[in-house]
Amino acid sequence: MLINRAIWNATIAEAKRKSAGNDYILRAIERAKAEVEKASYWSFNNGVLKIKSTTSGKLYIVDDVHTCESKKTCKHKVARRLVQRYSERLSA
């Protein structure tokens, strides 16, 4: 999927600004950003992010009830939130 870089970068910058001082979330934002940018496949429809993992190749379906095997802040949930915010900016 093609990304409007200006809107995407503004979305990332805003997320980082809002999360200033929270190192766990800032790292999750960076991991999520990389995942979205490098994934061979992702889609966002009706609030659901489908994304193919760049590390395992597994297809994750990320919605409000997504659970993850990650013991850290889930990059998939953060990626969903970033893509959601990006989509809102894109359609504004």
For Cα atoms 65, 14, 91, give the angle at the middle one, nearest 5 degrees.
Answer: 70
- Domain span at 16: 5-91
Summary count for the chain: helices (H), strands (E): 3, 3
Contact between 64 and 47 under an 8 Å Cβ cutoff? The reply is yes
Do 68 and 53 contact (CB within 8 A), yes or no? no
- pTM (two decimals): 0.91
pLDDT exceeds cutoff 90 at 92: no
pLDDT tens for 24-83 read: 999 999 999 999 999 999 999 999 999 999 988 999 999 998 887 776 778 999 999 999
State residue 67's pLDDT score.
83
Query: Which pLDDT score, from 0 to 100, does residue 45 have?
Result: 96
Q: How many domains does the chain have?
A: 1
For 14, other C-beta atoms within 10 Å of its C-beta total: 13
